[in-house]
Structure 1
């Protein structure tokens, strides 16, 4: 039997493994993907993440990232938009950290962002824009939403209510039918988690005239 200290050491060495968790899996608890996704995103940006933990002293997570060039970001496919004509993108993501990260990346790509956590909220935001005579250009919908309406059903509802913009399905499963055959479900493109800013730019750039 492993001692307590050996167990802690073993946990530390496995925390970045996909689906690793010390808790029983359920629909109400996480599936052990948070740190794995974080590590993948950080590595795609040329950085590194480390974790240190000592009994009675807490846990420290160290993230290092390269300093970006000071040149202004002018992404391909978006350079003809003036500040008054930024593309408006609605994202639906139930993970708060990923939702915030995606919003920031889109803002760096000169986009305006509306962020929601589930299908009902996405539909409400769509109607809010209609009442303001504003059109949403692109929506990014997470396929699987815990305890709420997922991307496929949300898009179906939005189309019924008159949404005519482009739709991108987002999921962490490369074998998902909605990723492999996204057009069958009414989507215009797909985006696989974890994704970088370059991945995001490449996908939305398909639908914004250069």
Structure 2
């Protein structure tokens, strides 16, 4: 598939090492993924491609109503080397695990000051950007973490959810991956990030998993 919408600078950014697996250089890394329309299919292009020993945790906000996110998590888990589950309130975030925000609940992460460990927090508070779960809510909470490397991936979806959170994370040094227009079913969510020059990498969906692994391997 041609990278027709990616300029020359961005094309250089998406060259990846297909042999890259994971990073084990004492870095605590979170991969934060936001998606909406077309997102479930996109997630199957990313999470199942992560090696079982990947040194990162994954937190996913997919706009879905209650009941559907658990089925999505189970299907992804069956296809993946890492553990994939619907997030539960109060559970510790573990390396090599992907947590899917439950439909109808905002997903946040909280850090214990003494240990630095992070835990899931679920909230049924007001909708944000017309959504619950909201990508922005997750990203706002991640911006408060200390001693964590953050990679944020914004995928296909309608609207602007995730934009404000990405602005904040960008200021804190997070690496931002936005799905390229050539593969996004709905270009809204990645478009606002790309047009605001917040993305470090603009990547077609089939290459996003390798882009994540490449970033991890550079640490």
Shorter-normalised TM range: 0.3 to 0.5
TM value normalised by structure 2: 0.42
Instruction: Using CA pairs under 8 Å that are at least 6 residues apart, name the structure with larger relative contact order, 1 or 2.
Output: 2
| Structure with the largest fraction of helix | 1
